[in-house]
Amino acid sequence: MTFFEQELKHLFENDTTFTNKRFVGNTCYGRLDNNIRVKIQFTTCGIADHYQALKVTLLNRNEGEIDSMTLHFHDMWGMKRPGNPNIGEKISPYIWKYEERTEWYIYKPTRNDYQKLADAVRGYLVTFQEPIHGQQLC
């Protein structure tokens, strides 16, 4: 299992907002309802091998892309002070690929960080779910 697959499983394996999850490469695929599929992937934002965000895409199985959103880690978590005393300034969190390794660069997200990110994705996805009988959308 790749580093990306492990991170995606950590975020979404137990999430009940979408079903039929598959973790492949740097992407998580799933089903929101009968017609809407979910695609969540780590993405770069202009710097090769620096994965600074999650891109969430909703796909209609018959008509293609419905909508997408990019969640930047620094927008979700802010600038972070690394645990390394040799690095004095705050950094923007990201995953990097270097030689044969893929890992978080200096700052590793906390449980609270992961929860914030998963909650933001969940909030986005429920906007597109069919309302349950008797519920009204805002």
- Give pLDDT, residue 133: 53
Q: What's the pLDDT tens digit per position in 52-80?
A: 999 999 999 889 999 999 999 999 999 98
How large is the average pLDDT for residues 38-47? 96
Tell me what the pLDDT averaged over the chain comes to: 91
For residue 135, the one-letter residue type is Q
Cα–Cα distance, 12 to 6 (Å, whole number): 10
CA 31 vs. chain centroid, Å, equals 15
Buried b (16+ CB within 10 A) or exposed e, 34-67: eebbbebbbbbeeeeeebbbbbbbbbeeeeeeee
Please state the φ and ψ torsions of residue 87, each to the nearest 5 degrees: -115, 105
- Give pLDDT, residue 132: 64
Output the six-digit token pair for 73: 């880690």
